[in-house]
Amino acid sequence: MKNIIFFFLVLGLAIQPAAAQVQEEFKPEDMTTFLIQVPHGVEGNGLAAGGSNLSAYVFFESYYDGNMNVTLGLDFPEGFVLKDTPVHSFSLQTEYEDWYRLVDFYVPANLPSGIYNITTTAIVEVEGIKHTIVRKTLLKVASREEIAEEIEVSGLTVPSNEDGYGDLSHPASTLIIRETSPALKKLLKVTDLQIDREELTSTYIGMELTNKGDSTVPVIITYDVLDIKTGEPVKAFKPAIMGMDADTLCYTTLTLAPGSSSLVSLPLYISENAMGGEYLLRVKVKLTGSDWVAVTKDQKITAISRKWGPIIITLVSTLFGLTAVSLFFSRSKEIMDRFKTRNLVLISLFGTVSFAAINLPMTILWELSHAVFGPFSFLFTGLFYEILLYMLIASLVVLIPKPGVVSLFMMVRFLLGGFITGNFTPITFITLSLSAVLLEVMMYTTGITSKNPNPENRFRMGVVCGIADMASGYASFNVWMVLYRLFYSDWYIMANILIDGFLYTFIGAWFGISLGNRLKKVAE
């Protein structure tokens, strides 16, 4: 009997130090990760509106290589409605094993505004020893007016790239509708093919959101494209994609830290049924857990479809050019016989001078002026292309006031530019031929080169050249837009036409009369 008592005494003494050693080695804060997010995804103090259905995220992970029993309890303030059991028990067996839950709760609509403390307690039992870990977080319940003042859509960019930054290749606040050609539509129908989702992606909307408050705000962002007259959503800009409503694709979630701004983008889908015109883009920001729209921001946008005006102008200009060339070649002998040899030499000389004084230097200065002056480079290039050019044209007409002088002058420039600089482009042909036709017609009808020519009236010459250059300049913009798919702002086109097209041209023609008269005296 004494031996048995002695054995248990020795065994007890041997076990007690080992148990004490386990208790000392297990450190709850170092050997576990225990966190709570209210609402889910918010680290720190969250924000909620009354009437919201939210979820709290609870996470527990063990770094202890052994059995661990955990009893977790959630303590929500009075007034909150917990939709799940407040106590969860689980066991973790090995190192790096974890457990998590989304615990749903409801914030009543009539809950007073204020800051509420949410406590979560974990009782961790290891080797029969219990440890307590407590986590607390704050949830601010604010009125809708307070929330609306804290969140702001501080920037809206249409179109943008995938990162939300502006797309400089397209005009601002403008959507480009990609029309499918009738031939391609017929081919797709015959082959039973469909336009896939990527083809429907037209552009992106860049949105910058700012949180001016002191709480972390989880939000959901979406948008609508509305009819600007009726305010109704236009389905052509949010079409069903692969059987799914576009609303399921056109949204994003964001967690805004206090006092921060974030830039996000959303895809904008355009179906082939979309029409060009004015629309209203409405961006909507909702708080997570609530269907209430906290913030909206509207921006007027323009959808551009195929414009028939530039196409018609391009076709008419091309027709003018081809007709003029056909007439010249069909009656070339008759036209050339009207000029003396010295007239042709003089026209060639003026055409060569214009090429040497305008085209050659501008091959270098054109790019340089764009780099220095940007969109206002036309103020510099117009000194050559308008003032100097029309000085030569007006002075040549003063010297040889006959129909066809301008056309031959333009032809010399076109040929020299084509053979020396390789500038044989359809646009050069169309714009030069249209300019020649307009000048010839207007000079003849206004009496400058008629049967009784009167080319020395400065004002008439300036107005005729100015109007003709304005028309040819406007046609040139349309030709560029059609053939090269370019887009110009209205102010840019208007400034070019008024300043370069009329003002500079008028000045050049005005001084060209003086130059022509002086050259005439020298010739006499």
Phi first, then psi: give them for residue 276, nearest 5 degrees.
Answer: -70, 155
Cα angle at 346 between 342 and 347, to 5 degrees?
120
Q: Quote the pLDDT of residue 502.
A: 92
Average pLDDT over residues 377-386: 85
Confidence (pTM): 0.57
Among 9-18, 29-38, 78-87, 513-522, the range scoring the smallest mean pLDDT is 9-18
Q: Quote the pLDDT of residue 183.
A: 53
- Confidence tier at 104 by pLDDT (50, 70, 90): very high
Residue 249: pLDDT over 60: yes
- Confidence tier at 244 by pLDDT (50, 70, 90): low
Q: Quote the pLDDT of residue 198.
A: 47
- Confidence tier at 23 by pLDDT (50, 70, 90): very low
Residue 520: pLDDT over 70: yes
What would the pLDDT profile of 190-230 be if each residue is shown by its tens digit? 555 554 444 555 788 999 999 998 888 999 999 999 998 88
Residue 187: pLDDT over 70: no
Q: Quote the pLDDT of residue 18.
A: 46
Q: Quote the pLDDT of residue 17.
A: 47
Average pLDDT over residues 98-105: 93
Q: Quote the pLDDT of residue 20.
A: 44
What would the pLDDT profile of 109-120 be if each residue is shown by its tens digit? 889 999 999 999
The single-letter DSSP state of residue 179 is P
Cα–Cα distance, 428 to 480 (Å, whole number): 10
Q: Quote the pLDDT of residue 463.
A: 93
Lookup: tokens for 215? 């709480």
% of the chain surpassing 70 pLDDT: 87
Q: Quote the pLDDT of residue 325.
A: 84
What would the pLDDT profile of 408-428 be if each residue is shown by its tens digit? 998 888 888 888 877 778 888
% of the chain surpassing 90 pLDDT: 35
Q: Quote the pLDDT of residue 7.
A: 52
Cα–Cα distance, 318 to 52 (Å, whole number): 65
The single-letter DSSP state of residue 248 is G
What would the pLDDT profile of 305-351 be if each residue is shown by its tens digit? 766 778 888 888 888 888 888 888 888 888 888 888 888 999 999 98
Contact between 63 and 92 under an 8 Å Cβ cutoff? The reply is no
Q: Quote the pLDDT of residue 251.
A: 87
User: What's the mean per-residue pLDDT of the chain?
Assistant: 84
Residue 180: pLDDT over 90: no
Average pLDDT over residues 467-476: 91
Q: At what angle do helices 405-421 and 426-445 cross, to 10 degrees?
A: 170
Lookup: tokens for 410? 């333009």
Average pLDDT over residues 458-479: 91
Cis link prior to 39 (omega < 30° from 0)?
Answer: yes
Which run of H or of E encompasses 219?
strand 217-227
Q: Count of CB atoms within 10 A of residue 9's CB?
A: 10
Residue 13: pLDDT over 60: no
Average pLDDT over residues 365-385: 83
What would the pLDDT profile of 255-306 be if each residue is shown by its tens digit? 999 999 999 999 888 877 778 889 999 999 998 888 889 999 999 998 877 6
In order, the DSSP letters of 9-38 are HHHHHHHHHHHHHHHHH--TTTSEEEEEES
Within 13 A of 450's CA, how many CA atoms are on the CB side?
A: 8
Q: Quote the pLDDT of residue 21.
A: 45
Cis link prior to 159 (omega < 30° from 0)?
Answer: yes
Q: Quote the pLDDT of residue 462.
A: 92
What lies within 8 Å, CB to CB, of 228 at 6+ separation is 277, 278, 279, 280, 300
